[in-house]
């Protein structure tokens, strides 16, 4: 145990761990409190006590991909599909700005209805509201990413899901691991703040694989890392799998913070699906971002990535008040800034 505590202490100051050292922390359950406290101290030192709220608009649940773990997968016939029209997306963003959000996140399945022209129109109109804008809309060409950037997009989220090419091929049929990495490189080249991340608890995933994921995030110098548990969806081929657990997911957050001290790390909604205090615990273990849903009405329930998703019956205003209360309760404050990564 002492060896692991000294390892955590060293990582807190050097921000460096080998693959085998990361694996040893994942396997251990005796020094978890020390790990989480160290990650929280690093978070406080490098990104402060402010929590950045990003207003999430889930604007289409139509997807041409067929990922084995995702409720939005193309072959899921049990989901009612929707897409929100450009002007309505802009109105939702306007309302979110009225609630006080400084960042809007536009997320969808890979839906080709939203052409470059449509997205340019949406992006340029939202940018008039003096907010940061994040896109999370999947794999695109360099030219498409360039067009979104020129229209005003600031950040782009595209999770690698797993850096294990064999596992990726099983989980994401018909997709290319190399192309996924190409997307990340292109986004960096174009000057986006780049977000990526992984799913924790996929079938056949190992601690070694998760360690590789974190080292990959560090290697590409990602600006934001979103990690969370895989939660099996009954409408997918992985419905009978065990899924990810809360503790391992929390360890991945903590180790990521130790190795990448000044990045943004969200406390994901999925963490609260597994634990009623999931997001606040994650905020106390290295995270500094929360992405409340600002989509309205029936759409909130229909963006069914996984079962048990929280707040689907809530209103955006209630969501904002609820998470603000939780943040204040743990002695933190809601940030008044747009929350760009500040590199030392």
Q: Domains of the chain: which residue ranges?
A: 2-334
Residue of 69, 79, 124, 129 lying closest to 101 (CA atoms): 129
Task: Please tell me whether 234 is known to bind a ligand.
Answer: no
pLDDT attached to residue 19: 98
Write the pLDDT tens digit of every residue in 25-64: 999 999 999 999 999 999 999 999 999 999 999 999 999 9
Cα 70 from Cα 304, distance rounded (Å): 8
Write the pLDDT tens digit of every residue in 152-167: 999 999 999 999 999 9
pTM for this structure? 0.98
Is the model's pLDDT at 310 over the cut of 90?
no
Task: Please tell me whether 67 is known to bind a ligand.
Answer: yes
Cα 40 from Cα 285, distance rounded (Å): 5
pLDDT attached to residue 312: 86
pLDDT attached to residue 153: 98
- Please name every residue paired with 106 in a beta bridge, in sequence order, or none if there are none: 57, 135
CATH value of 2-334 in 1.20.140.10, 3.20.20.70, 3.50.50.60, 3.30.1330.60: 3.20.20.70
Percent of the chain residues topping a pLDDT of 90: 95
Q: Are 15 and 260 in contact (CB under 8 A)?
A: yes
Q: What tokens does 81 get?
A: 């599909």
Average pLDDT over residues 250-261: 98
Task: Please tell me whether 83 is known to bind a ligand.
Answer: no
Q: Crossing angle of helices 177-189/207-220, nearest 10°?
A: 30
pLDDT category of residue 313 using cuts at 50, 70 and 90: confident
Task: Please tell me whether 63 is known to bind a ligand.
Answer: yes
pLDDT attached to residue 128: 98
Q: Are 54 and 101 in contact (CB under 8 A)?
A: yes
Q: Is 306 helix (H, G, I), strand (E, B) or coil?
A: coil
CB count within 10 Å of CB 30 equals 9
Is the model's pLDDT at 11 over the cut of 70?
yes
pLDDT attached to residue 1: 62
Label the pairing between strands 103-108 and 50-60.
parallel
Average pLDDT over residues 325-334: 98
Average pLDDT over residues 232-250: 98
Query: 10 CB contacts (<8 Å, ≥6 apart)?
Result: none
Residue of 118, 39, 91 lying closest to 284 (CA atoms): 39
Task: Please tell me whether 14 is known to bind a ligand.
Answer: no
Average pLDDT over residues 174-178: 97
Residue of 179, 245, 261 lying closest to 210 (CA atoms): 245
Cα 312 from Cα 316, distance rounded (Å): 10
Task: Please tell me whether 73 is known to bind a ligand.
Answer: no
End-to-end CA separation in angstroms for the chain: 33
pLDDT attached to residue 308: 87
Average of per-residue pLDDT values in the chain = 97
Percent of the chain residues topping a pLDDT of 70: 100
Is the model's pLDDT at 14 over the cut of 80?
yes
Q: Are 251 and 35 in contact (CB under 8 A)?
A: yes
Please give the helix or strand (H or E) that residue 96 lies within, else none: helix 86-99
Is the model's pLDDT at 73 over the cut of 90?
yes
Is the model's pLDDT at 267 over the cut of 90?
yes
pLDDT attached to residue 72: 98
């Amino acid at each position: 145990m002492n060896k692991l505590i000294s390892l955590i202490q060293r990582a807190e100051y050097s921000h460096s761990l080998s693959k085998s050292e990361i694996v040893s922390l994942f396997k251990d359950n005796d020094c978890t409190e020390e790990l989480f406290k160290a990650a929280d101290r690093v978070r406080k030192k490098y990104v402060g006590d402010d929590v950045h709220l990003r207003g999430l608009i889930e604007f289409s649940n139509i997807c041409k991909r067929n990922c084995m773990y995702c409720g939005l997968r193309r072959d899921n016939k049990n989901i009612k599909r929707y897409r929100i029209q450009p002007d309505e997306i802009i109105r939702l963003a306007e309302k979110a700005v009225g609630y006080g959000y400084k960042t809007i996140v536009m997320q969808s399945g890979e839906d080709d209805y939203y052409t470059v022209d449509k997205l340019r129109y949406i992006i340029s109109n939202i940018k008039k509201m003096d907010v940061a804008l994040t896109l999370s809309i999947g794999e695109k060409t360099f030219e498409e990413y360039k067009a979104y950037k020129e229209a005003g997009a600031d950040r782009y989220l595209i999770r690698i899901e797993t850096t294990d090419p064999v596992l990726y091929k099983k989980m994401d049929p018909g997709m290319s691991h190399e192309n996924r990495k190409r997307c990340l490189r292109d986004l960096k080249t174009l000057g986006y703040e780049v977000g990526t991340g992984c799913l924790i608890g996929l079938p056949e995933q190992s601690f070694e694989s998760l360690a590789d994921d974190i080292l990959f995030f560090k290697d590409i110098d990602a600006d934001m890392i979103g990690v969370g548990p895989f939660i099996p969806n009954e409408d997918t081929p992985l419905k009978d799998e065990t899924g990810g657990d809360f503790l391992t997911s929390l360890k991945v957050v903590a180790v990521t913070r130790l190795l990448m001290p000044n990045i943004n790390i969200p406390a994901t909604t999925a963490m609260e699906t597994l634990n009623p205090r999931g997001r606040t615990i994650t905020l106390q273990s290295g995270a500094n971002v929360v992405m409340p849903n600002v989509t309205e009405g029936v759409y909130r329930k229909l963006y069914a990535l996984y079962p048990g998703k929280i707040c689907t019956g809530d209103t955006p205003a209630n969501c904002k008040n609820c998470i603000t209360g939780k943040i204040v309760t743990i002695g933190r404050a809601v940030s008044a800034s747009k929350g760009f990564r500040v590199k030392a």
